[in-house]
Amino acid sequence: MLTSFILLILSIQSPLWPMDIEPERGDPFIIMNKATNELAFFQYGDLIELYDVASGKEPELTPEGTFTVVVKAENPYYRKSDIIGGAPTNPLGTRWIGFDALETDGRIYGMHGTNEPESIKQYVSNGCIRMQNEQVEQLYDDVPLGTKIWITSKVDKTILELGAEVGIVRSSAAKSGQ
């Protein structure tokens, strides 16, 4: 009975896969390339959507590596300046998709909307990934907790080539540009 209880708890912790296991080709996966300020959402081995984003004003502010989405929030509260969620002055926009970069709890680093849409494609953030509100709302609906995000700064590869590098798309699709 104790074993059954432990298995139940473990299965509730991660709705997709255990948080420390690499995803399979069909699992949702996000790649963010700081060199191009592009964010790609993949699922079932296909590129579903490619977004222009903003990232850290200094290269080290947006951490690189593979992380896990652990927090999602609609109309997030902005603690730093005590701005309620949904306020037009809230720099986090309408959605927060937080990930566990640098051993944080998903409330420090994340993908979020913005109240400054002109900042997209710029290097302006304190480390988060900024998106247009409409786009982060779409991504929010598509990305479950447990989704992996890989942040890199490779200048010599396309998003599809990066997807092939981590094994989430077929290498033939990356070579043909599909």
Angle at 103 between CA 34 and CA 17, to 5 degrees: 85
CA R_g for the chain? 17
Weakest mean pLDDT among 57-66, 78-87, 115-124, 162-171: 162-171
pLDDT recorded at residue 139: 98
Higher pLDDT, 34 or 177: 34
> What pLDDT does 51 receive?
98
Integer Cα distance of 155 and 36 in angstroms:
7
Write the pLDDT tens digit of every residue in 115-169. Answer: 999 999 999 999 999 999 999 999 999 999 999 999 999 999 999 999 999 999 8
User: Catalytic residue numbers?
Assistant: 112, 128
- Confidence tier at 23 by pLDDT (50, 70, 90): low
The pLDDT assigned to 25 comes to: 56
pLDDT for position 8: 39
pLDDT greater than 90 at residue 2: no
pLDDT score, position 169: 87
CA 34/CA 38 separation, integer angstroms = 7
